[in-house]
Every structure is written in structure tokens, then in C-alpha cells.
Amino acid sequence: MGSFSTLFPQILFVIVVLSSCSANIHGQFITSKASRPKSLVLPLTKDPSTGQHITEIRQRTPLVPLKLTVDLGGRSLWVDCDRNYVSSTYRPARCRSALCNLANSRSCGDCFDGPKPGCNNDTCSLLPDNSVTKTSTSGELATDVVAVESTDGKNPGDTVTAPRLVFTCGSTFLLEGLANGVSGMAGLGRDPVGLPSQFASAFSFSRRFALCLGSSSKGVLFIGEGPYIFQPTGVDVSQNLHYTPLFINPVSTASSSFEGEKSVEYFVGVTAIKVSREAVPINPALLQIDSQGNGGTKISTVDGYTVMETSIYRAFTNAFTKAMAVYPGAPRLASVAPFEFCFDSTNLPVTRVGPPIPGVDIVFQDETVSWTLFGANLMVEVKKNVICLGVLDGGLNPRTSIVIGAHQFEDNLLEFDIARSRLGFSETLIYRQTTCSNFNFTSTASTTLQVV
């Protein structure tokens, strides 16, 4: 009986929202194609001072544009509800409701400063996580309207709205360490309340998204099916991807979690790292995820550079500096924090894919699948004629042995297919005569949707 009484008002709410939406659709000639998009497109920009990749969505009624730091391994969308949260469509998740269940919330309670967004009685909560500073808190679970652009893979099209997108209320203090102007984090994690799964169920498309981080400025995030078309050639990058399985770490890797939760981050099965086609010596146990959830390799957008456990870092950088001394023969220079290995690039030729460096391959499970990193993704130009190896020492016994950071996959497209549990990667788009900044963001929308 209890579950009936909590579910019933929600069902009513859905009907009310849907009918007000269809009124809009008729009033403004939005095609049925637009209301059932196959794919969504979100803009990305790289924040110059923090290096964080920022996206933008519109939320609430009336709609407010929000800048959010992209967190590939984040469990859900979270936003600061303490300041400026005004919306007529904010709905907290009532204890023991279907939403609390969907989000696997294990905590429930009252809040005495309310009622207001983020503070209501008889609501369940999650643990919004600032994964940059590794800080988390408890925050009310809620739903509100979210508007994003649909796409045919080539341009943004009509705006579509998810009337009841689940998110978590964070607090103002949780924004510390995030880029200026950001009001939360866009969690793309492998969780029913992660943004990709929620958009997939809101619009009935497959649980899949593709991330293409720009190296200097703009990038693009597709949620849903391909194609992923880039200018100037109109190449469809969803074709000819290399695939490797995604793995689930059985123990949460978040800053805080409920007991027994698995990780929602994206782990891949790296088996070797090669420098000049030769595997560097790595203790294979470190590449496995153990029963406590330690070890393995994950991909992260909140780490600017790849971080390796000390013994892996030593073996890799040894092999790399030896190879650098032979070819291209660039002399070592003093370290430039946070990087240890820097080189004089005065005499190195300039190529499309960055400085010529020893070939580095990340080898996956199946020996035939590997990811070649070129100079632009491996080296960082810290000043004129000084390039440093963009890899950091993660110390002894880190939680995850290898964290592949953002610099290493900028201008590469990564497709995370949650339904098929596999990662597709393009390698550098420069070899396909384009970059992640070349999605055509000129809208072809036939109309603008106003949500009332």
C-alpha cells in the first residue's frame, strides 16, 4: 500500500508535464522527430585556467543555462542548490519512492531549513562528489526539467526537454576547485541516474555516448547513436573505431559511497604499454582489479594528465627517456612542475600530430587492439622550445594503477557503449583531417521550444 501512495502522485505529475509539453509542440510546430531524437549534442569547452572540460545544459522552469564540469566517472548530475535555485518544476524524491530505488539511495530524512530546493522533509539523498578535490557531501535527490539540443550527427537541431531528469543537490562549498562560473558537475557514469542512461530512457535510445575533448578550446559530447560528423570533410567518426571491452570495478571508487556499491567509472583492460614497440616491464597484478577494487586502468576527464603507479611510472619514463635520447635525440632539461621529464625541442620538426617522439602504444586485452599516442597527446609544451612528458607519478599503492587523463585523449573520439559494455576509440582525429573542435555547432532547429 505504501508504495502505491508514493507512486501515484508521480504518475499524475508525468501526465501533467507531458500534456503541457504536447501543447507546446502543437503550438510551435515541433515535429514528432524532434520530440523523439536519436541523439543529443552538448558543447564542450576547455577552461584555460583549470584545464577542466565544461559543458552547458539548461535546467528548471523557467530554463536557466548552467555550466558544468564534465565528470566521466561521476554518478549523476549534481548542481549547487544553495544559491539561486528557483524553479516551479523542482520535485524532491520522497523516501521509498521509485526514484530513490532507481538511484539506489540508502538514506532518507528530514531537513529543517526548508522547504526549499535541496532541503525538504521525507526525502532521500545521494552523495554528490567533487571528484577534482575529492570532496563529497550528502544532497537531496530531485528531478527537474532539462533542455538540450537534439542532433542528426551533423548539426544541433531542435531543443528537446526531459521533464523529470534526476539529479542531486550539491552545496556551494562543493564547487571549490571547479572552474569559474561552473555550478556543478555533469556525471556521465555508468549508473541508472548517470546522464547517458537517463537521456537514453527519457528518449528511448541506446545507452551510448561519445566524448571528443578539444585540445585548446571547443569539443563535443554526443549522447545517443551516431553518426558523429566533423568538418571540413564531413567525415563520420563513428565509422572505423577500434573496440575494447569496458570492465566494472566491483568496489566504488568515489570519494564516498554507500557500503557494497560498485564503481560507476569506466575501466579498460590494459595489458601492456610499449615504447618504440617494446613492452615496458610492469607487474601484471597491478593491471588487474583485485577483490577490494584496487588496481586496473580507468579513464578520467577530471585528471588533466595520465597518472601511473610509481613502479609503472618508473618503468615507462625510463624506457621513454632512453628512446628520446636516441630518436629524436632531444636533450633533457630541468623539470617543470608538475612534470619530471622535459626536453629541448628547438631542433625538432613541427608535425601535424605534435613533436616526433618514440612511439607509445597502450595495448588492450586482445594484443591486436592498441591505442597509439602521438606527440600532441603525450607531450606538453610548457614554454617555447620546452616540451615535457605529460604523465604523472601516482605514488605507491594508489587506488587505481593507471588513470588515463584528459590530455592523452584530446582530439580523439571515445565512444562509451554502456549497453554493449565496450569502448570505441578513434585514435587522433588529426589523421582523419579534423579535430574535436570541428563539429558544426550552427543550429538547424526549425523552432525554439519554450517550456512553461
Residues that bind ligand NAG (CB under 6 A): 110, 114-115, 121, 155, 231, 440, 442, 444
CA distance 355 to 54: 27
**Which residue is it, cell 542528426?**
152
Give 419-449 as a DSSP string: TTTEEEEEEEGGGGT--GGGS------SS-P
Closest contact distance (angstroms) between CB of 444 and ligand NAG is 5
Per the structure block, which three cell numbers stand in for 405? 587523463
Q: Is the peptide bond before 338 cis (omega within 30 degrees of 0)?
A: yes
Per the structure block, which three cell numbers stand in for 157? 537541431
CA distance 422 to 299: 13
Task: Select from 219, 202, 201, 178 the least CA-distant residue to 68.
Answer: 178
Closest contact distance (angstroms) between CB of 140 and ligand NAG is 13
- Is the CB of 209 or the CB of 439 nearer to ligand NAG? 439
What is the H or E stretch that residue 65 is in?
A: strand 64-71
Q: Tell me 106's DSSP state.
A: -
Closest contact distance (angstroms) between CB of 127 and ligand NAG is 22
Closest contact distance (angstroms) between CB of 75 and ligand NAG is 27
CA distance 239 to 426: 9
Task: Select from 297, 302, 254 the least CA-distant residue to 71.
Answer: 302
Per the structure block, which three cell numbers stand in for 231? 568538418
- Is the CB of 110 or the CB of 176 nearer to ligand NAG? 110
Closest contact distance (angstroms) between CB of 58 and ligand NAG is 22
- Is the CB of 87 or the CB of 155 nearer to ligand NAG? 155
Task: Give the dihedral sign, CA 64/34/443/415.
Answer: positive
- Is the CB of 157 or the CB of 354 nearer to ligand NAG? 157
- Is the CB of 421 or the CB of 440 nearer to ligand NAG? 440
- Is the CB of 184 or the CB of 226 nearer to ligand NAG? 226
Phi and psi at residue 105, to the nearest 5°: -70, 140
Closest contact distance (angstroms) between CB of 442 and ligand NAG is 4
Closest contact distance (angstroms) between CB of 33 and ligand NAG is 16
- Is the CB of 114 or the CB of 359 nearer to ligand NAG? 114
- Is the CB of 22 or the CB of 88 nearer to ligand NAG? 88
Q: Is the peptide bond before 328 cis (omega within 30 degrees of 0)?
A: yes
Closest contact distance (angstroms) between CB of 95 and ligand NAG is 12
Residue 34 CA: distances (Å) to CA of 77, 78, 160, 225, 445: 24, 26, 7, 15, 9
